[in-house]
Amino acid sequence: MAARRGTNKVWLDSSRGGRGADAQGDRLVKLAGRFFKVLKLSNVELSLSLVDDAEIRQLNALWRRKNVPTDVLSFPGGDMPGPGRRVLGDVVISMETARRAAKTFDTSLDDELDLYLAHGLLHLLGHDHHQKAAARKMEALERQLLGRPSMLSRSDEI
C-alpha cells in the first residue's frame, strides 16, 4: 500500500538498548513527529535505534575509525527511486552513554535522549558543526527543537 502524501514514519528498534529502551523509544518516536513539524518535514522516513555502548562502539569504530562509545551516530539515507517517503536515514543512540551524560551534566535521561535525537536528525538533514558558522546554525536549530540549550553549547565547537 502506498504511503499517504505528507505522512511521516519512524521505524524504531529498541531491542538492543537495555533497560527502559522500549518506553524511551516510544517517547522518542512521538518526539520525532514533533521535530518533523517544527522543521516542516513531510513525507519522510527515519530509522531510530537505541543500543548499548558495545554496539555503538562497534559502529563508531567501523564508520568513523574511533574505537570508543559515543552518544549518537547518524547515517544519511540515499535517494530512493520512485514515489514514496524520502528516507532521511538512521539515528543510533547509546542508552548507556545517555545515562552517564545525564549524571555528568545533571540532566534527566529524557533530556539527554531528546538532545541526541535532535542532534542526529539535524546531521541527517545536512547540518554540521565543524566550522563556526555551521555550528552556530546547528546550535540554533537544536535550541529551536528543544526549547533549551543544545548539545553544542556544552563544547568549545561554537
Q: Which domains does the chain have, with CATH numbers?
A: 9-147 (3.40.390.30)
For 34, list phi and psi in degrees, rounded to 5: -65, -40
At residue 132 the predicted structure's pLDDT band, cuts being 50, 70 and 90, is confident
For 75, list phi and psi in degrees, rounded to 5: -125, 100
The three cell numbers of residue 49 are: 535505534
Q: What does the alpha-carbon distance between residue 40 and residue 134 come to, in Å, rounded to a whole number?
A: 20
Q: Which of 68 and 136 is assigned the larger pLDDT? A: 68
Residue pLDDT, tens place only, 12-61: 999 999 999 999 999 999 999 999 999 999 999 999 999 999 999 999 99
Q: Global pTM?
A: 0.88
What is the Cα gyration radius of the chain? 15
Residue appearing with cell numbers 516542516: 40
The three cell numbers of residue 41 are: 518535514
* One-letter amino acid of 116: Y
